[in-house]
Chain A
Amino acid sequence: MEAQAQVASAAATGLKNGAMNGYHDSPSAKPVREPLVLGNKTVHDVTVDISRIAEDKATPKFWLALFASAVVAGAGILALVYTIAVGIGVWGLNNTVGWGWDITNFVFWVGIGHAGTLISAVLFLFRQKWRTAINRAAEAMTIFAVINAAVFVLTHTGRPWLDYWLLPYPNQMQMWVNFRSPLEWDVFAVSTYFTISLLFWFTGLVPDLAMLRNRAKGKIAKTAYTIFSLGWTGSTRNWHHYEFAYMIFAGLSTPLVLSVHSIVSFDFAVSILPGWHTTIFPPYFVAGAIFSGFAMVLTLMLVAREILDLHDYITLKHIDNMNKIILATGMIVGYAYAMEFFIAWYSGNPYERFVFINRATGDYAWSYWMMMSCNVFSPQFFWSAKLRRNVMFTFFLSIVVNIGMWFERFTIISTSLHHAYLPSTWHYYTPTWVEITIFIGTFGLFMVFFLLFAKYLPIIAASEVKGIMPGSQPSHHHHDDDDHAHADANGHAKAH
């Protein structure tokens, strides 16, 4: 019944879309803006294109990829178990450098997670319609990245089985947490961020899950999609609630985009360590997080675009837009690097000066220059529109950017620690195989999640894409309509 209703409504709009899409074929009427969906799709085409991935039988390639990812994740998990069983002494950290790969990886993954919220919330509020092609995957990536970040933050402690002590709960020890500690702020910042991101992601999924439910033939698939689509009928009230909830989540998430990484940066900024104690950190970390997040989205989406044949949905325009953001945030990050150096000199603080000169010339100079070349120099290629629209080059650069952003965190954390105030305490830090395995393992874990997501959930927000297709807002694209009336606020098609 519901299915019928939806199909009926889809068919009704589809009819008109098909008729109106004709202008794409007319060379004389080049649009001011590039279309966001190519290939003269009808709404039904979108449904089919996106459901197809979940409905088709999984290929051996998929299983192979899943297996490989699981093996890598398993290795990481074994290394984690070893760490927890024996102690974090199996890592290379020491009394001078108390945080190394553990916190570097934590900040790295939290940073990756930033793009999801930015795309789904901020770009939504700013009515950036091109976000619809990538927001679902970006949000999923956010969730998986924050899970990986949690792996590090939960296991970097000496006694991880007591991590729950960081939660303020009434207890027989009569102990309260220390609200002055930035780590405590982190607990709230990251857990709030994760919760909101998860709910936001799930809310957005509901209409698409209903779409899959309606089409599902297998019993398991049908049951699962039925449960998670929460009885979506596609009714007006459903849409009304949905859109309202989506708006609220977008509103809630927007400050979180700024707060999470600001607070993560407080871990460092609030300390008294030269190289950490810097007021520029909050904006600098947020920019860096968006920078790395977009790079990661690109890495993943470019692969998905090829393998799942989503060329019509993730177009060169999307890639171009994201590359512009990478270029912009990359320059913000570069500015922050320069400003840090300037302030170190300008402050006249000898410890501060030393730390920055040491970054560029000391024992960890290789890491600093890695960061500089990947984060500041390499995005400059994106001044060229040609390169911004070159898929292979973008893919390569997106990886370079993430390598650079990893090194940024490592440079900030370990380089500042290894040569702090008293020269007598200066030391070096090298990770052991255990830390390296755990880090690689989190990539495996990430890929396991992402592959399962890409296979069984709609990787592109179908309902949203339908909403931005030319036919959904006829007045926008009615070039031959001199009246140029606007669509109503809901973006629903008006009956003519």
Chain B
Amino acid sequence: MERQYWKRLDEMSTKAALSEEYSAQINTEFNSTAGDMIENSNGLNRRSFIGLLSASMALAATSCRRPDHKIVPVVKASEYLTPGLSTFYSTVFSHGNLAVGLVAKTRDGRPVKLEGNEKHVASMGSSSAWIQGSLLSLYDPDRMKNPFVNKGGFTPSTTKKVAPGFVSPDTAIASMADGINAAAASGKATRILIGEHASPSFDALLKEIEPMLPNAKIVVMPALHGGNTAEANKAVLGMDTEFVTDYSKAEVILSVDADFLGTDKNAVHNIKSFAKTRKPSFENASMSKLIVAESMMSLTGMNADKRMRLAPDQLVAFLAAVAKGVGAGVSGDDAGLSAEAKADAEKVATELKAASGKAVVSVGDHLPAGAHALGIAINAALGAFGAGKAIDTAHQIPMSNSKNAAIAEFREELKGGKVGAVVFAGVNPAYSADAETQELLKKVEHRYAFSLYQEETSTMCTAYVPAAHYLESWGDAMAFDGSVSIQQPVVAPLNPNSFSLQDLLMKLAKAVKADAFASLGEKFAYVEYLRARWTASYGSVSGEKPATFDAYWAQVLRDGLAKAGAASSPAANVNAGAASGLIAQAKVAKADLVCLVTPSYAHYDGSVSNTSWFMELSDPVTKTTWDNLALMSPKTAEKLFGAERAKELNSEHYPTELIRVKSANGVVELPAWVQFGMADGVIATTTGWGRTNVGQVADNVGANAYALMGAEQSNGYVAVTVELTGKKYKIASTQRYSDLMGRKLALDTTLDKVKSKSEHLVHKEEVPGKESEKNSELPKSIMKSFQYNGHRWGMTIDMSACVGCGACITACQAENNIAVVGKEHTANARDMHWMRIDRYYGGSDMENNPEVTMQPMLCQHCENAPCENVCPVAATTHSPEGLNEMTYNRCVGTKYCANNCPYKVRRFNWLNWHKKDRSPIEFVHNPDVTVRMRGVMEKCSFCTHRITEARQKTKDAGELYIKDGSLQTACQQACPANAILFGNTNDAASTVSKSRTSERGFLVLEELNVRPQITYLAKVRNVEGKKEEAHAGGHHG
């Protein structure tokens, strides 16, 4: 008998062991053939089960398909239009009376991007944020759509769609004509208010229309009057105009409160000419010197090599002292000047004098005419006037004569009740005029408006017709060099009820006087008038010209301009007597607190504030968005809020204090902002904010600072008092820390060091692996390095040329469909700009006169990109041409890449930013670039779609490599300073490759060995004295 072992403890009890139930259980548990039990009686065993499973899988995989039936598309091609390709049209943008030639890129009939026209003197191919943003206003959903007639004035409705009194444009114009006739019948005048313009044809048209309307006169009444410059030029030089300064012709530049690089409407030209001489190298170690004396911190002041903070009432005296120093031959009172300022003035005068013939002085337009008279005298003494000199007197801004007298006369007429009808043609005095003028205008019986928006003025009018956008209308404009461009519409008016101002005025003239413009006959339109004028001028075109007018017209349209004939530069003879007269009257407000109101960088005068790109463009000085602020020095803040609170405000942590600024003319509530570099006792703020009835974007954003200015506007400075409201206010700043904390990120150096070819020009960090790589050993990385055969894209940014204007930011926004996020999200660092400009303060006197460094920052397209290897789904990868690419479709949105980016240039779509977009705003989008949805990461692509386009063209031309210079990124194209270079770094002969060998070159955070593909060139300061080493500001705030 086989030996038995216990199989369970239970067998201890023999009873259990013997029971049948127990043995059955034991047998089942210890059955040696247990595996076969699966094959049970019904025949389905393991093998047949697997067989059946495979058969059904195979059947499921091979399914049938429907038979093919061919369909045929409708083929109907549009002329000039190839789907998927862009068409470019030349046109012109008028910033007041400054004409800027543009090239508009259109896609399928709609403009999607604006660039400067390379042939045009005011842009030379570059542009500004203001120009870029003008495209968005074309598609603004808040533009008024319907004309109306409403005797009681228009009541703004919340919907804007259904409102009483909507009529056809003809009815509205007829109503206006009735009013003008009625005014004339009662012996009253009609006044047509227009803004500044640079159009010779419009000027001629206005001159024709004026006599057609009974008792009518045209009054040019821009929101910002300006005029001091022209007034002084008229009195002192006998030329009622504004000159343009070519800063590239100057070695020493003195700016007295003139923000020629910032808020000046001609800033594109100014930056271009200024930056030309700001890029010194070992071979050419020269650069201009910019000396700025100002009371607020302007963008120009931030770029100064030497900057003096002066109280506003010292500015004229300072000029007088400089005039004395250079021997300008005019009398000026410099008695009030502090000893320090006096010494400075003397020093400046010596420097200017030394650079005689190559020195120039610019005076802020808001300063009184007397200050300009001093400036003119100094410039004349320095020999700055004349052909080939900094101020070529032939370069006059067209129609820049002083309007102050005409405006004052109009106000007198209003006061006298002589005006019976007023037409607001593209002006908005209910927003921008002083309180008194506004009251007077309301008393005029018949008030009519033409404007882009249903805005402050049109809502108090009894008849209104919407105006067309400049990109929808014909016109022309003269540049300051005398060349004339045709304003070519690049799209038919989106709103069929809208007309250009010129068309509207012609229609109005016809409604009043039936035979007006009879010569045009059937073709009653401004474009015919324009053509007729150009036909007349065709005859007088000298030199080579196309055989027929039509060919000439086509050529002008294509080129974007008709070149000016040779103009002589009139001699600048200073009338010392007249100058002294003006100087004696020159007074700048003097009080404990003085407020300076300047145009804003983003909105300028506020006429198109409803443009979200402007709202989100951070102010280059304060780096804030969505608000205008009351800028003040730390000391002024201390006086107002006490030392402790001022210190808090100083550290750029919000919320800040809301203060009430009161002048003799009005009150505004503004958030206080401590701005380094401000003169004590000065508060600075900007216009263009506080719109109340224009649209969703601009309504009630910021405060209307026009309220502080008087009717005269001749002086930007007004005496104010400040009350604390006790209210806290949150500001959306895009950069909360402006201190480099001693980090060597944004390097600067001095001209002396460039001249002496210093070895330690810029600080270089030790980089792991770099040396061994040079010695052709293996790099210290376990990853295989990339091979770049063919192109490899790289960029150089010259921080010495960059003035920080921000044109690149908005250009990038327009090119790459970058979303606007609004104030709340901007305040929480969710702004979407791919390009930003980091602004750092440094120097030993940071609070009073900081040394400012601007550093444009964008994706560095690192070779060892830290973002690439942390993405779990490989949504951000390296291209064979060295681009760090972002595949939106693949992105899941872990944000790991952004966390690991040392430059923090990645932008996340926290929400669906486009959700609230209203039609037709979507038409502004560039069809070459994806509009990103929520939940995906994005960042600078080095304009990869432009590279693709260039590659295709190159291929079509049968070439292998994209030609150097034939490809520009959007930021590079817009940059007026030409501070950005982009190209193929594999090609040693390319511009970008050459620039990268510059002795000023450095990589930001090179020591991390991420190998960024953007080389920065250190900023050079033209300062006296030696500095230890190129360094970043070492102040700890």
Contacts and interface: CB of A to CB of B under 8 A. Distances in A.
B741 A271 contact: no
Given A165-B892, A237-B29, A427 B829 contact: yes
A313 B902 CA distance: 54
Interface in B861-893: 866, 869-874, 890-893
Interface in B648-669: none
A424 B893 contact: no
Given A87-B934, A180-B869, A272-B866, A94 B830 contact: yes
A214 interface: no
Contacts of A177: 872-874
B743 A350 contact: yes
B907 interface: yes
A273 B898 CA distance: 11
B909 interface: yes
A94 B828 contact: yes
Interface stretch (A153-161, A245-253, A287-295, A388-396): A153-161
Contacts of B210: none
A8 B19 CA distance: 15
B736 A98 contact: no
A175 B890 contact: yes
B1010 A175 contact: no
A495 B873 CA distance: 61
Interface residues of B, number: 69
A296 interface: no
Contacts of A235: 8, 25, 29
Interface in B561-619: none
A176 B21 contact: no
A212 interface: no
Contacts of B857: 422, 424
A423 B739 contact: yes
B825 A89 contact: yes
Contacts of B911: 86-87, 89-90
A328 B828 CA distance: 41
Given A8-B10, A183-B870, A183-B872, A95 B907 contact: yes
B216 to A, nearest CB: 55
B893 A158 contact: yes
Contacts of A165: 873, 890, 892
Contact of A5 (B8, B910, B912): B8
Contact of B740 (A182, A272, A423): A423
Contacts, number: 189
B8 A98 contact: no
Contacts of B869: 178, 180-181
B899 A423 contact: no
B737 A426 contact: yes
Interface in B16-40: 16, 21-22, 25, 29-30
B873 A88 contact: no
| Chain A interface size range | 35 or more
B912 A87 contact: yes
A351 B22 CA distance: 75
A158 B870 contact: no
A420 B901 CA distance: 10
B893 A157 contact: yes
A421 B894 contact: no
Contact of B935 (A93, A95, A159, A173): A159
Contacts of B838: 422, 424
A417 B899 contact: yes
Given A9-B9, A157-B894, A427-B736, A272 B900 contact: yes
A495 B11 CA distance: 13
For the residues of B in contact with A, the DSSP-based class is loop
Nearest to A92: B828
A437 interface: no
Nearest to A164: B892
A190 to B, nearest CB: 13
B904 A96 contact: yes
Interface in B177-228: none
Nearest to B903: A422
A422 B745 contact: yes
Nearest to A6: B10
**Which of A5, A236, A423, A492 is packed against the most chain B CB atoms within 10 Å?**
A423
A425 B874 contact: no
A138 B836 CA distance: 51
A159 B903 contact: no
A98 B893 CA distance: 10
Contact of A422 (B9, B895, B904): B904
B935 A157 contact: yes
Nearest to A86: B911
Nearest to B838: A424
A35 B890 CA distance: 59
A354 interface: yes
Contact of B870 (A12, A92, A270): A270
B872 A178 contact: yes
A268 B8 CA distance: 54
A87 B25 CA distance: 60
Nearest to B26: A235
Contacts of B898: 95, 98
B353 interface: no
Nearest to B935: A158
B374 to A, nearest CB: 39
Given A89-B830, A423-B741, A98 B899 contact: yes
Interface string B897-933: 0111011101111111000000000000000000001
Interface string B728-758: 0000000111111111010000000000000
Contact of B904 (A95, A182, A237, A267): A95
Interface in A182-216: 182-184, 187
B162 interface: no
A273 B874 contact: no
A1 interface: yes
A31 to B, nearest CB: 28
A181 B871 contact: yes
A162 interface: yes
Given A350-B743, A424-B840, A271 B866 contact: yes
B955 interface: no
B7 interface: yes
A21 interface: no
Nearest to B825: A89
B344 to A, nearest CB: 32
Interface in A1-28: 1-2, 5, 8-9, 12
A423 B737 contact: yes
Q: Looking at B735, B736, B829, B936, which has the most chain A CB atoms within 10 Å of its CB?
A: B829
Given A99-B895, A425-B904, A236 B7 contact: yes
A40 interface: no
A198 to B, nearest CB: 24
B12 interface: yes
B30 to A, nearest CB: 7
A92 B825 CA distance: 10
A378 interface: no
B1005 interface: yes
Contacts of B890: 165, 173, 175
11 contacts: A5-B16, A89-B911, A98-B896, A158-B895, A158-B935, A165-B890, A271-B896, A273-B902, A422-B857, A423-B739, A425-B903
Given A5-B16, A95-B904, A271-B870, 12 more contacts: A12-B9, A157-B893, A158-B909, A165-B873, A181-B872, A235-B8, A272-B866, A351-B743, A421-B902, A422-B904, A423-B740, A492-B9
Interface of B: 7-10, 12-13, 16, 21-22, 25, 29-30, 735-743, 745, 825, 828-831, 836, 838-840, 855, 857, 866, 869-874, 890-896, 898-900, 902-904, 906-912, 933-937, 1004-1005, 1008, 1010
Interface of A: 1-2, 5, 8-9, 12, 86-90, 92-99, 156-159, 162-163, 165-166, 173, 175-178, 180-184, 187, 233, 235-237, 267, 270-273, 350-351, 354, 417, 420-427, 492, 495
Nearest 5 pairs of A and B residues by beta carbon: A158-B893, A158-B935, A89-B910, A89-B911, A98-B895
